[in-house]
Structure 1
Amino acid sequence: MTAHDSAGEPSAVRTHEAAALDAAIDDLLAGGISWRETAHFAFETLRTNPVRTLLTALGVLIGVAAVIALLAIGRGSQESITSSITANGANLITLRPGASTSGGVRGAVGESDSLTMNDAEALADPLRAPNIALVSPEYAGSAQLVTGSNNANARVTGATPVYAEVHNTTVEEGGFLSEAQNRSAENVVILGATIATTLFPDGGAVGEQVRLNGQNFTVIGVLKSSGGTGFGSVDDGVIVPLTTAQRKLFGARAIGGSWSVSTIVVQATSAETVDAAAEEVATILREDHSLPADGSGDTFSAINQQTILETVTQTTQLLTLFLGAIAAISLLVGGIGIMNIMLVSVRERTREIGLRKALGAKEGDILLQFLFESLALSGVGGLAGLILGSAIALSVNLTGLVTVSLSWDVALLAFGFALAVGLFFGIAPARSAARLDPIVALRYE
């Protein structure tokens, strides 16, 4: 017969079950609670207090949303400004008569301060200026345009056919200037998009006549809209042959047998050769105008587009960084809110912590649970903030007032920072909970 204990069960079976239970307890004491169980406890705790969880995560949510929206607006503005500058042509150097003002003192303007067609031809010589690709001499003024009962005041630019390539100008209707029209100083005009709409609201401008400063001009083209009026946009201007502007409209001076120009725009062969092209420009003009080689007597000023672009880019990047830093402050405030709530939670759950320790939970288990809770709060707030911030940025973009640029790197940075804030501000409450004495905790009222 098989030996039975007082309860009637086989003693061998009870011995086996006891050994298995002892082994499980030993494993628990040796390894503690698993990460999965710890995470489960943390999320269950947060789920039982949904209102508190929502209010605590709100600070992080607002912080992440602010970072996403402000950085998107900042980046979008930077790209928009850069696009506006480069839309008028790339790798450009703009030359104008007159030396740059220095120390508040500038010499008088005389004939030596003028740029001429001879200067433009010298700059276009590939032997003297190998880093210059294109040269566009221009003469600018303003005039009143009239057709029928419609009229508009516009900026008039006298240009040569190369103007279109230098300034990335696209004709939407008709055509651009020809070399023959420029040589014969014909009375033809190309209208900017806005001017064309003002003078011919029903369209069909090409082939029509307009009066420009009392003279009849034939419209041969309408430019495609550049989308703005800044950085030299011709939407609000018109283009005529350079010789027509010099001789018929604005009475340019003939200096040394060459007609004067108001501006010479030089395009370098590439972005890398802009500085070299600028040096060639300065050398040629100083030699041809018999000016000091050190630049002390320059009677012209040069505006380097690349320098402007770099300055604007640095400025907008700095402003975007400041916007992000200001928004990140709200994330820190949200982190402080998480720490306060977690400290309150530790106090409320002191007896629970003592009971768990009495049942074998280690300090590491308690520490991990509270850290998981803190990370969960910041993670939930961060994800909601990503959605809200993206929605705000897209809504701003839809208004058309500001361009935004959403990117994954900003989103990941904001979310990662939110998790880091949650981790940092969760350490103190987690350590406080982990170090509680189980006997004192069980007696806590």
Structure 2
Amino acid sequence: MWWNTLGLALREIRRNLLRSFLTILGIVIGVAAVITMVTVGRGATQAVSDQITSLGTNLLMVRPGQRMGPGRDSAGSPPFRQADAEAIALQVAGVRAVAPQAATGAVAVFGARNWSTVVYGSTNAYFTTNNWTLAAGRLFEETELRAGAAVCVVGATVRRELFGTQDPVGARLRLRNISCEVVGLLQSKGQAAMGNDQDDVVVMPIATVQRRLTGNLNVGTLLVSMDDGVDTERVKADLARLLRERRKLAESDENNFNVLDTKQLAETLSSTTQVMTMLLGAVAAVSLLVGGIGIMNIMLVSVTERTREIGIRLAIGALGHEVLLQFLIEAVVLAALGGLVGIVIATAASLALTSVMGVPYVFDPGINLLSFAFAAAIGVVFGYFPARRAARLDPIEALRHE
């Protein structure tokens, strides 16, 4: 009986292909929209997580002032010194590396080309804390760090803008009045979570930047990389206690520095993008309900058109539940076909959008199966009323129908 009923349902769908296509269009759009929104949203979440991770493994960023970000009140807070980084490395347990960082903007010049970039002054610990790896060349030697030598390591963007495809290692570029030898090239990291280009960077020994570019011994940021598995809160507490002692703060004084945990930042941003993804998915799911209403309307029209056929079936012995099953299967098949077409369209749209947005494509079989099951369920829910109406027709009245 099931196969016979399914065959009758498919025959009716084939007889009205255009109407069947228009009927499932709402389901197709709804399923495609839900899957696309969720897939792209999860790709964005993954991209944010990867970009935050690229800043450094278990990284704490310590800066003067009580707040982070634009408008932070660092003007009245004393800067750090390189000795602060050395004290943290020696006295705080669980710390893998500490890098003092002094930053300034400068125009890099090579031959007839120039490029405005950011110059960071630091030690070799900078490359450890920021998860940098070398594509070519070497890091700084101890003698270069102590003497403040005019050497630098450049990022991929600086290499592209100044040197093109040429190997920059061994070449000399000019930063203001400094002729700097390029000793290393960094592997590309791409765009950071905040939108800045991580590869647009020139790294020099901190003594060189302080003496010849900034003109002071100030350290704007301390980058603290922690060992895997350590208690982050304990390290942050020990770090704060040490810095308060070194900055001579009384017990009643608030910290005049702030500590940003990049892991917490990653979790916050990821949870935010996940909430937005679920919100967009819920909005898109409304079109599935619209598609279900469309199926119900068309099935009601179909019942009206086939009243005499239903009357004949009932008159020759068909049971009411068999007629109900036939129309219910038609509705479910239409909804399921819409779900399958929507999945195909969603896959193509997700691949295209993630490619354009530059985020990874994260295939989730769960959301695909859930969307398909929800589409089929909509066929059951919205197809039941027309099917029940067909099953309850009076055979005599149905045969009289014109």
TM-score by length of structure 2 reads: 0.92
Q: 1:243 to 1:107 in 2, by over 3 A?
A: closer
Higher alpha-carbon deviation: 133-142 or 398-407: 398-407
Partner Cα separation in structure 2 for residue 333 and residue 274 of structure 1: 49
Name the structure 2 match of 1:215: 178
User: What displacement does 1:233 show?
Assistant: 4.5
1:348 aligns with 2:313: no
1:66 aligns with 2:24: no
Partner Cα separation in structure 1 for residue 211 and residue 386 of structure 2: 83
Name the structure 2 match of 1:171: 134
Partner Cα separation in structure 2 for residue 317 and residue 228 of structure 1: 20
Name the structure 2 match of 1:49: 16
Amino acid at match of 1:344: V
User: What displacement does 1:419 show?
Assistant: 0.8
Say if 2:311 and 2:395, in contact at 8 Å, map to a contact too.
yes
Partner Cα separation in structure 2 for residue 368 and residue 287 of structure 1: 79
User: What displacement does 1:229 show?
Assistant: 5.7
Instruction: Choose which of 201, 209, 214 in structure 2 pairs with 1:250.
Output: 214
Instruction: Choose which of 317, 337, 341 in structure 1 pairs with 2:294.
Output: 337
User: What displacement does 1:83 show?
Assistant: 1.4
Q: 1:378 to 1:230 in 2, by over 3 A?
A: closer
Gaps of 5+ in 1: 1-33, 254-259
Q: 1:87 to 1:422 in 2, by over 3 A?
A: same
Q: 1:330 to 1:282 in 2, by over 3 A?
A: same
Q: 1:86 to 1:119 in 2, by over 3 A?
A: same
Name the structure 2 match of 1:83: 50
Amino acid at match of 1:116: R
1:381 aligns with 2:338: yes
Q: Which structure 2 residues correspond to residues 219-234 of structure 1 after superposition, within 5 A? A: 219-228=182-191, 231=194, 233-234=197-198
SS in 2 for 1:182: helix
Partner Cα separation in structure 2 for residue 272 and residue 341 of structure 1: 63
User: What displacement does 1:394 show?
Assistant: 1.8
Question: What RMSD over aligned residues (CA atoms) do the two structures have, in Å?
Answer: 2.2
Report runs of 4+ in structure 1 exceeding 4 Å deviation: 104-108, 229-233, 400-403
Deviations 1:309-351 (A, max 9, x none): 1211111111111221122111111111000011111112222
Higher alpha-carbon deviation: 174-183 or 393-402: 393-402
Q: 1:43 to 1:272 in 2, by over 3 A?
A: farther
Instruction: Choose which of 189, 199, 205 in structure 2 pairs with 1:235.
Output: 199
Q: Which structure 2 residues correspond to residues 46-445 of structure 1 after superposition, within 5 A? A: 46-100=13-67, 109=76, 113-125=78-90, 128-228=91-191, 231=194, 233-253=197-217, 260-270=218-228, 273-293=231-251, 296-399=253-356, 401=358, 403-445=360-402
Partner Cα separation in structure 1 for residue 74 and residue 50 of structure 2: 36
Amino acid at match of 2:239: V
Say if 2:60 and 2:223, in contact at 8 Å, map to a contact too.
yes
TM-score by length of structure 1 reads: 0.84
Amino acid at match of 1:331: L
Partner Cα separation in structure 2 for residue 398 and residue 206 of structure 1: 33
SS in 2 for 1:220: strand
Partner Cα separation in structure 2 for residue 154 and residue 229 of structure 1: 16
User: What displacement does 1:134 show?
Assistant: 2.0
Amino acid at match of 2:163: F
- Structure with bigger gyration radius: 1
Task: Report how many residues are paired.
Answer: 399
Deviations 1:49-106 (A, max 9, x none): 21211111111111111222222221112211221121121221101112228xx995
Q: 1:124 to 1:401 in 2, by over 3 A?
A: closer
SS in 2 for 1:366: helix
Identity %: 40
Say if 1:74 and 1:404, in contact at 8 Å, map to a contact too.
no
Q: 1:105 to 1:390 in 2, by over 3 A?
A: closer
Partner Cα separation in structure 2 for residue 434 and residue 272 of structure 1: 68
Partner Cα separation in structure 2 for residue 100 and residue 400 of structure 1: 31
User: What displacement does 1:357 show?
Assistant: 2.0
Q: 1:312 to 1:202 in 2, by over 3 A?
A: closer
User: What displacement does 1:171 show?
Assistant: 1.5
Say if 1:171 and 1:221, in contact at 8 Å, map to a contact too.
yes
User: What displacement does 1:421 show?
Assistant: 1.2
